[in-house]
Amino acid sequence: MILKQDAESPAEATSKGPPKPRLTAGQQSVLDVLQHQSQPLSAQALHGLMRRQQPIGLATIYRALDALKLLGLVQHRVTLTGETLYSAVEHDHHYLTCLQCGVSVPVDTCPVKELEAQLQGASSFRIYYHTLEFFGVCDQCEV
């Protein structure tokens, strides 16, 4: 039993951009978890978290994440191990990752927002989010 709560639902009041369709139960549920999460989560991690409170199938989570990306509500990034991590678009977090041991440290700056605004105007795209990640080798792994 999943309750719809559109308290934080997409801008329908301040109709900025095309009207967003109502979210399905699964989408609402997934979005809610991501919005209250400080760290990005994989689909399977979401499944593990959600299944106790609100039983939901893994396939539904994948579908919800896809839909939420398309609505500009969720963003993704891919780890070195190949799993995709999702977070609410509001969270703009970037990392510096070691190619050897995989350790990631957060980068608190983001020099991309301005360029994103420029591109938004110059291109025919509606831009929702960006990924920015640095790769190298940490001193632990240095030869």
Partner DNA sequence: TCAGGAATGATAATCATTATCATATTGCAA
Partner DNA sequence: TTGCAATATGATAATGATTATCATTCCTGA
11 binds a copy of itself (CB under 8 A): no
From 12-20, 21-29, 106-114, 129-137, span contacting DNA (CB under 7 A): 21-29
Write down how long the chain is: 143
Pattern 57-96, binding to a copy of itself, x per CB under 8 A? ------------xx-x--xx-x---x-------------x
Radius of gyration of the chain (CA): 17
Confirm or reject binding of residue 59 to DNA (CB under 7 A): yes
6 contacts DNA (rule: CB under 7 A): no
Residue ranges in 96-125 that form contacts with DNA under rule CB under 7 A? none
Alpha carbon 50 to its chain's center: 17
User: Is position 136 an interface residue for a copy of itself (rule: CB under 8 A)?
Assistant: yes
Q: Which does 92 bind (CB under 5 to 8 A by kind): DNA, Zn ion, a copy of itself, none?
A: Zn ion
Angle at 134 between CA 69 and CA 46, to 5 degrees: 35
CA 105 from centroid of its chain's CA atoms = 18
> How far is Cα 70 from Cα 105, in angstroms, rounded to an integer?
28
Q: What are phi and psi of 105, to 5 degrees?
A: -115, 140
